[in-house]
Amino acid sequence: MIAILYWAAFIAAIALLIGAIFLARAFVAMSKTMDAVTKTMGTLDTQVTGITTETQLILNKTNTLVEDVNGKVARLDPIFDAMGDIGVSVQDLNTSIRNMSSTVSNSVKMTEEKVSNTVSYSNAFMVVRDILKKRKANKEVK
């Protein structure tokens, strides 16, 4: 019976040894994985620092460009205001020309009516004169 106990203890010791070997292998593999992760994180940190620096430079250039564009747009504002004023002036000029054209047209119509009346009166006067001449001629003949 003691021999069975020794054999059981020996088998348990071998099982513990095998378990310890597998556990040690797992820890070694985990250690290698953690080293790789540490190395990757170091590389990633360096790359992120580079990207951050480049991004900051791009943002600075973009801000400078935006300020430049805003300055140029501010200098163009008076030009657009002047163009708006020119548009208003042209519209006023068109209104004035329309009014003047309407006035001239009305004046021509009034003059046309006066001329027409004058011609009518002249025709009537000539008819009356012809009638008077005929009467005078008829009186002289009689």
pLDDT in tens, 80-91: 788 888 888 888
Q: What is the pLDDT of residue 16?
A: 95
Q: Is 121 inside a domain boundary?
A: no
Half-sphere exposure of 26 (CA within 13 A, CB side): 6
Q: Would 93 be classed as within a structural domain?
A: yes
Residue 24 in domain:
yes
Domain assignment present for residue 120? The answer is no
pLDDT value at 132 more than 80: yes
Q: Does residue 3 fall inside a structural domain?
A: no
CA dihedral 131, 133, 134, 137 (to 10 degrees): 160
Residue 1 lies in a domain: no
Question: How many domains is the chain built from?
Answer: 1
Helices marked H in 1-142 — which ranges?
Answer: 2-141
Rounded to whole angstroms, the Cα distance separating 31 from 23 reads: 12
- The pair of structure tokens assigned to 39 is 């190395």
Percent of the chain with pLDDT over 90: 34
pTM, 2 dp: 0.41
Rounded CA separation 127/122 (Å): 9
Residue 56, domain extent? 12-106
Reported confidence tier of residue 135, pLDDT bands at 50, 70, 90: confident
Please indicate, yes or no, if residue 139 is contained in any of the structural domains.
no
